[in-house]
Structure 1
Amino acid sequence: MDITDEVSVRKAAQFVEDEYGRLDILVNNAGVLNRKPAIEVSADDMRLEFGTNVFGLVRVIHAMLPLLRESSAARIVNISSDSAIFAKATEQGSMFARSHESFSYSATKTAVNMLTVKYANAFLDDPELAHVKINAVTPGYVATDLNGFQGHRSADEGARAPVYWATVGDDGETGGFFDENGRVPW
């Protein structure tokens, strides 16, 4: 599905409803990175990244909520990034502090983390959604086409934390930001 297109997302939700009647696990993994020096980025330049990484995520969650309500153990995993960690972004000389070309991307992933917290609290306040666990997860620096396959982690290694949180038990946390070692301060 094209998460930037309302019709495409609605069609996907309708397909899941018609075929399965519910949705147990939703992993929001779509992401766009527009490499451009921070001092050259305009608001218009940021539209694609925010449109995909933030608004697309909200569009998909909104469309899938009726299906998640029907699951007895619904889980949402929002893929975030180490670039959303303020401590890393402010660590002088670190890759994250010096990576000005991820200006918009880092901001979108920080927004994903905050949206995750807000959704978790809203779900807990709604008896029909209180069973839904939602967490943001960073897979680490995975070798993907997004980074020109420069990451030092394999796709299998990067999948560990998202799979864990997609299958967390009813006693698991919700509204957090995690990597494969546990909670990540941000």
Structure 2
Amino acid sequence: MYETNVFGLVAVTNALLPLLRRSEAARIVNVSSEVGSLSARTNPDSPMSQMVSAIPYTSSKTAVNMVTVLYAQELRDTPIKVNAANPGYTATDLNAHTGFRTPEQGAEPTVHLATLPADGPTGTFWGYLWGADHDYGPLPW
């Protein structure tokens, strides 16, 4: 889980940083999950606090969130925007297609962050909000 979700993410990002630094509008979007939010997992009013999930997956997504914050801090004086996206519970091979969101819906937060304007945010966790009155928005780390 960590090899793919964390160590692979860092290796690919580090390999591509020289190219990204030459771009006028580079975007790094790390795919995370709301289950990796420490705030959501410890807030008794959050649906995430009641969810049972595997420790390796959940903790690897928490690590993705921290990696996102650290890259955003490292690159804050550049035009590169670094954010984490939460696709929500999306029907994929990972969950035997039991998710209630379609792959197209799951892709929306990533596409949004990948196409941010120059004045868009960096260092944010954004995406599908489980149990919220609206579909998308900022998520707590």
Report the TM-score, using the length of structure 2 for normalisation. 0.87
Shift of 1:109: 0.5
**C-alpha distance in structure 1 between counterparts of 2:46 and 2:127, whole Å:** 23
> What is the aligned partner in structure 2 of residue 175 from structure 1?
123
Offset at 1:164?
A: 0.6
1-structure distance, mates of 2:46, 2:27: 37
**In 2, Cα distance between equivalents of 1:98 and 1:165:** 26
Count of residues in correspondence between the two structures: 133
Q: 1:109 to 1:173 in 2, by over 3 A?
A: same
Q: Name whichever structure is richer in helix by fraction.
A: 1
Taking the aligned partners of 2:57 and 2:16, their CA distance within structure 1 comes to 24
Runs of 4 or more consecutive aligned structure 1 residues displaced over 4 Å after TM superposition: 92-96
Tell me the equivalent position of 1:160: 108
- 1:88–1:97 CA contact under 8 A, matched in 2: no
1:124 aligned counterpart, secondary structure: coil
**Change beyond 3 A, Cα 1:74–1:142:** same
Instruction: Please tell me the residue identity of whatever aligns with 1:164.
Output: H
Post-superposition Cα deviations, 1:69-105, rounded to whole Å, max 9, x if no partner, equal: 12110001000001112344344895663424x2111
Match of 1:184 in 2: 139
Which of these residues, 94, 113, 121, is aligned with residue 73 of structure 2?
Answer: 121
Partner of 2:133: none
Unaligned runs of at least 5 residues, structure 1: 1-48
Quick one: structure 1 residues 175 and 94, their matched pair in 2 at CA, closer, same or farther if it must change by over 3 Å? closer
Matched, 1:99 2:52: yes
Question: Contact 2:40/2:140 (CA < 8 Å) preserved in 1?
Answer: no
Q: Based on CA coordinates, which of the two structures has the bigger radius of gyration?
A: 1
- Over aligned residue pairs, what C-alpha RMSD do you find? 1.8
* Shift of residue 116, structure 1, vs aligned partner: 0.6
Question: Relative contact order, CA 8 A, sep 6+: which one is greater?
Answer: 2
Task: Provide structure 2 residue ranges, at least 5 long, that are not aligned to the other structure.
Answer: 129-135
Percentage of matched positions with identical amino acids: 47
Do the aligned partners of residues 94 and 62 (structure 1) sit closer, same or farther apart at CA in structure 2, a change above 3 Å counting? Answer: same
Q: Is the 8 A contact 1:84 1:109 kept in 2?
A: yes
